[in-house]
Structure 1
């Protein structure tokens, strides 16, 4: 059982350069023991570099990083004994069975032959791969290979697991299988640091999210708090193709109701949209009455709670990869009013 009295991961002012590229620009990060932390950001944000520093694969140029209480530079061996790491691509041997992959890893980590066999059987059973354990890995689906790679990082029972974009390239079924495995690990007390571009993945799995952009943490907090800070999206769709006057009138009414946030008008879609403060939904009956008073007939008034996509758009000004995107409406949230910026 890991020590929950101290953070599992601590990074303070970490800088890492590769030539003229500054991959990390003073990154601060704290992950409490026994939690799942989602490191969220676009390609090139510094997520993988942060994991590589924590896993002792590269040394920071400046700042400090500690894993399980150990300094990643001065106590690198102790760090390595405390972690498991699954990268972006499965690293298992496709020419042998899943069971033999795990047994070989056990022996490489100085487990005896019997202990390695027992550990392999236990992990395959716990994570739903027992029936496939004696098949060659080359016959596995992509999702099964990723799950095998994930549990291979658990052969030594590390208290802390780093997962670097573990579901990249998987179909929805494969992604769900990896999610289930991560949830099982978290329920068992393993601390997980998960890097991802998938907003839904971070929302489902993480207790806390750190949004990283250009090598620095720009926001942190539980998913519900990050989303609540964005506000609520309200869209009004007009009943008929509007002239500029009607669309403008609808925008004025919506802006007055919202009191903050820019209204975005889309003439082609006959909609006006605003991202506004939480709780404004109680004013929707008033919105309909005021639209009617200025001669605007609404075909639909839609209310949508904020998503992590909205958070990402508001913070970085661009959509994260691997998501459906939120269209142009998200630009209305770019007011910088999150209140959670690190």
Structure 2
């Protein structure tokens, strides 16, 4: 974690010399939001955005993985759109099913397509991605993985995800703090999901729920082998994580699964090279599912990823489905009106 990130999440005021830059950021962001809203595109089907108001990993992708099967059980045919951070493609929108691998699509969309078994389309222009999805697939609901601040994309339901441990940091906008939008923005979304615990200051927020990420299994990075999550309890392991908040992953391995962790944090969306895994001493390697999709072809021995599943209160699902039913009814009336 850089010096600046540490300052964001420490007690005390934000660095004085960065506050004018935060004011400039706020002005530019509000101007862009106003411009985007004037040209906003609204999908003919319900569109749900899963996003956050802070930079870094908060748990958006696990929540999206949770939502898809819940929606399928209710008879919806969901599709996912994503920016595709970390991917490099010469053509957008890009259908993940036609891509050559995560280096082209980005790690999170590739993982979501593999795990959720539903259409996934990536591109920096989320409106174009959504239109492509509707043109090529029989989807009656769109989930935007990230994109809360992509206001040109109309949305019917907004879910904001907050890191339960770090919360909103010092509550300041970039670069003095970690926020893309002011804390009051959480009052305007439909649902707030706090990853791991309810942060101080958000306990009274209406429509806030706690999401727990529960370990399910350890799966081989290069094969089909599966181990129980407690297989390496009490043992020393190398832990590799190229996610927004690697420390959360290392903490889970140590505190929840009882492993003795040698941490290897990497930048979010890190593009791995084979020689990065010549780790000493030779021990089992544990990584996230998001990292594992990028090293599947490396042929790593004794390398595993931790498969986790999100758990949320039943009331979260009930509120979400009620909102969706209302949106679906409204859109049906407008199309036949």
Shorter-chain TM range is under 0.3
TM-score by length of 1: 0.25
Larger gyration radius, structure 1 or structure 2:
1
